[in-house]
Chains A and B, each alone.
Chain A
Amino acid sequence: AQSVSQHNHHVILSEAASLELGCNYSYGGTVNLFWYVQYPGQHLQLLLKYFSGDPLVKGIKGFEAEFIKSKFSFNLRKPSVQWSDTAEYFCAVNVDSNYQLIWGAGTKLIIKP
């Protein structure tokens, strides 16, 4: 069965540190890839997405993610985090244009001021 793995459940960083959150999926066919973010007290919202084309995609608030097909990965990165990036981040995969998104368990990111 298809699955999505997020390697770290909790990450704590200081402001200005670099961030990389891992996401791996298990599926060999066509995928659409997403990162969603949930800030404290707010609803889930899309951070960035990959459908096709340039495997390096840029999202809101300085985030980017790189799709590496050979590694079945879609890691999220930010060169310098801010306190306001404290949130829970979810990786999700849509396989073969199905209606269902397969979700990772989420990574809680805490940025220390």
Chain B
Amino acid sequence: SQTIHQWPATLVQPVGSPLSLECTVEGTSNPNLYWYRQAAGRGLQLLFYSIGIDQISSEVPQNLSASRPQDRQFILSSKKLLLSDSGFYLCAWSVSGNSGELFFGEGSRLTVL
């Protein structure tokens, strides 16, 4: 069966420090991969999605970037965190194609101080 792992679960970082959140999927090949940000009372905001290795689409201009160095690995990064980057970040995958059915990781809570 397919599984998705996301880490770290919680992270406290100072302003200006770098960020790396990692997500890996097991049990499937060539998945679509997504990074979302979940804000209370505002639903989910798509940050990045990827349909293949080194194929990244950015939905919202911001202080973050994403990379997909391997088929089932998706990384969310920042060179210098801002206070406004604090939030809850979710990784998700879907089968190749675009049905819209997503499978989510457990999320990473980022606090920037």
User: What number of B residues sit within 8 Å (CB to CB) of A?
Assistant: 23
User: What number of A residues sit within 8 Å (CB to CB) of B?
Assistant: 24
Given the complex, which residues of B lie within 8 Å of A32, measured CB to CB? 99-101
B46, B51, B101, B103: residue with the most chain A Cβ atoms closer than 10 Å: B101
- Bound state CA distance, A43 and B92, in angstroms? 10
CB-based contact B98/A45 at 8 Å:
no
**Are A90 and B59 also in contact (CB < 8 A) when A34-B100, A44-B90, A44-B104 are?**
no
CB-based contact B49/A101 at 8 Å:
no
Assess whether B44 is interfacial by the CB under 8 Å rule. Answer: yes
Q: Chain B 46-58 against A: per-residue CB contact (8 Å), 1 yes, 0 no?
A: 1001010000010
CB-based contact B104/A106 at 8 Å:
no
What is A's interface to B at a CB cutoff of 8 Å? 4, 9, 32, 34, 36, 42-46, 49, 51, 90, 92, 94, 97-101, 103-106
